[in-house]
Amino acid sequence: MGQWGLPAAHTMYGADDADTQGEPLDGSKDEYTFTFEAPEVESFWSYTAYSGETRLMEENALNRHSRGDRTLAPNEDGTHTICMSADTEGR
């Protein structure tokens, strides 16, 4: 079962917890940009920020926790890019 009770046949969860230097992700200090090819799925996909401490969606001033196929436009080459940062000014 996944975190929200979905059977494994219907969901897949991955985790990113370190940057390219192997340091733990810390959104209060750094900005992170993820560029990736969207997975081939029948329904939808999303990238969601969860707290490493509470395992709940990470609190933020924009009340924005997740981005996916319904909220992101692809880049010209078909990839998608997500920027995660504590700096919410102008975003």
Q: State the pLDDT confidence band at 76, using cuts at 50, 70 and 90.
A: very high
The model's pLDDT over 28-69, given as tens digits with 9 standing for 90+, comes to 788 888 898 988 887 788 888 777 778 778 777 777 777 888
Residues above pLDDT 90, as percent of the chain: 12
The CATH class, in words, for 28-91 is mainly beta
**b/e sequence 20-34, b meaning 16+ C-beta within 10 Å:** eeeeeeeeeeeeeee
The mean pLDDT value of the chain amounts to: 79
Rounded CA separation 23/7 (Å):
32
Closest CA to 83 of 49, 58, 53, 50: 49
Q: Which residue has the tokens 């919410």?
A: 88
